[in-house]
C-alpha cells in the first residue's frame, strides 16, 4: 500500500501532460481508496409506523494515513443531518484492527419508533482527521401505516 509520502509512485507533475487524464484520475482514486472506504449493501427498508430499522455500515481505513475517523449515518433527505439524537437513534460502534494499520469500524444505527417523518434517504459518511472523506450510496426507508411491526437489518459483510 502506498503511503502519503511515496509520491515516487505517482506521475511526476512535470510530465503529467503526456499521461492521459483518465489514467492520472484512476491512480489518484486507487490511492484514496487505500486511505478510506465506506462499505455496505444496497437496501430498501419498508417498516410499520412505531417499529424500527437498523442501518449498518463499515468504514475501512488506514490509521497511519487517516488518523482518527468520524463515521456516522446521515438523513440525506433535504439538508444532510447526522443521526445522533439518543432519544431517536441507538448507535453502536465496533472497531477491529487487521493487517498493518488497516482498521474496520462498523457503525450500526437503529432508527427507533418510526414515524412518517422518517421516510427518506439515508447515507453513511466517514471523514478522516486529515480531511479525506468517503460516503456510501443512499438507502431508502419507507414507513407504512399499520399495526404489523417489521424489523429488518442491513448486513455490511
In a domain, 131, yes or no: yes
In a domain, 154, yes or no: no
In a domain, 136, yes or no: yes
Note the pTM of the prediction, 2 decimals.
Answer: 0.72
In a domain, 15, yes or no: no
pLDDT tens digits along 66-125: 999 999 999 988 788 999 999 999 999 999 998 888 999 999 999 999 999 999 999 999
| CATH number of domain containing 117 | 2.60.40.10
Instruction: Determine the structural domain holding residue 97 and report its residue range.
Output: 36-144
In a domain, 19, yes or no: no
Q: How many domains does the chain have?
A: 1
Distance CA 33, CA 45 (A): 28
In a domain, 98, yes or no: yes
In a domain, 59, yes or no: yes
In a domain, 112, yes or no: yes
CB contact at 8 A, 106 and 88: no
Amino acid at each position: 500500500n502506498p503511503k502519503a509520502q511515496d509520491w515516487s509512485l505517482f506521475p511526476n507533475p512535470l510530465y503529467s501532460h503526456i499521461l492521459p487524464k483518465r489514467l492520472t484520475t484512476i491512480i489518484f482514486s486507487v490511492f484514496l481508496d487505500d486511505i478510506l472506504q465506506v462499505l455496505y449493501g444496497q437496501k430498501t427498508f419498508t417498516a410499520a409506523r412505531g417499529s424500527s430499522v437498523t442501518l449498518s455500515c463499515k468504514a475501512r481505513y488506514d490509521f497511519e494515513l487517516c488518523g482518527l475517523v468520524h463515521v456516522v449515518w446521515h438523513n440525506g433527505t433535504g439538508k444532510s443531518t447526522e443521526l445522533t439524537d439518543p432519544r431517536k437513534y441507538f448507535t453502536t460502534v465496533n472497531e477491529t484492527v487487521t493487517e498493518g494499520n488497516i482498521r474496520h469500524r462498523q457503525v450500526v444505527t437503529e432508527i427507533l419508533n418510526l414515524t412518517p417523518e422518517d421516510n427518506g434517504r439515508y447515507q453513511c459518511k466517514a471523514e478522516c482527521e486529515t480531511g479525506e472523506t468517503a460516503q456510501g450510496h443512499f438507502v431508502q426507508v419507507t414507513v407504512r401505516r399499520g399495526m404489523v411491526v417489521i424489523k429488518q437489518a442491513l448486513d455490511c459483510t
